Amino acid sequence: MIRVAIVDDHPALRAGLRTILEAEPGMAFAGESSGEPESLWPLLHRACPDVVLLDYHLPRGDGLQLCYRIKREVPSPRVILFSAYAGAALALPAALAGADGLLPKGVDARELFEAVRLAHAGERLIPPVSRTVLAEACADMEPPDQALVGMLLDGASEAEAARTLDLDAPAVRRTVQRVLGQLRVEVPAPRA
């Protein structure tokens, strides 16, 4: 049984996802949160979900930073960033945040279930970071940040990157969090 938690600020979306998850064989709804710390962290520690569907754009928080923090938990659940704007532009920040997947909110139920199953099985569901996206992102970074990003994208752990770059672990975490802030893709404002 794959236990799935939902973190999204829209109650109707959470309710809809809960309904379809409860009806799917092999999956169990583990709980929900709007992303507020007072509901999120108790949910993660109490329910111990296997997979978290995490909204990229939370009004009072940053889904990337939240993903990064969740992935530092022990044991850490698989995290699928769920966004109406999922695509190539989010691949780099999602990878750096440690996301296990990036999924558009418009997918049908079968695709959602398949993504949850694959992420739970250890598959990485993030599109490759194109050279163009990487070059554009690195153009705005300092050379030490570029080196760290390159190492992490190549599969080095934060500890390995820290040793190679002669940094301590807190410095690596601060740099990753700062770079995630710089790479945040802004969501277009709704039309009036």
pLDDT of 93 higher than 50:
yes
Which pTM was predicted?
0.89
Q: How far apart are CA 79 and CA 67, in angstroms?
A: 7
Question: What residues does each domain of the chain span?
Answer: 2-120, 131-183
**pLDDT tens, residue by residue, 10-60:** 999 999 999 999 999 999 999 999 988 888 999 999 999 999 999 988 877
Residue 188 above 80 pLDDT?
Answer: no
Q: How buried is residue 143: exposed, middle or buried, by Cβ count under 10 Å (0-12/13-18/19+)? A: exposed
Query: What is the structure's pLDDT at 104?
Result: 92
The pair phi, psi for residue 74, each rounded to 5°, is -125, 120
Residue 1 reports pLDDT greater than 90: yes
Contacts of 83 (CB under 8 A, 6+ apart): 55, 56, 57, 63, 90, 102, 103, 104, 105, 187
CB 52 within 8 A of CB 79: yes
**What average pLDDT does range 160-169 have in this prediction?**
93
- 110-137 tens-digit pLDDT: 999 999 999 999 999 998 888 888 888 8
185 confidence band (pLDDT: 50, 70, 90): low
Task: Round to whole Å and give the CA distance between 145 and 178.
Answer: 10
Note whether 60 and 14 are within 8 A (CB).
no
Q: Which CATH class is domain 2-120?
A: alpha beta
Q: What b-and-e string marks burial along 173-192, b requiring 16 or more CB atoms within 10 Å of the CB?
A: bebbbebbeebbbeeeeeee
Q: 10 Å Cβ neighbour count for 154?
A: 9
**Would the pLDDT of 191 be above 70?**
no
Span 89-99, average pLDDT: 91
Q: Dihedrals φ, ψ of 134, to 5°?
A: -65, -45
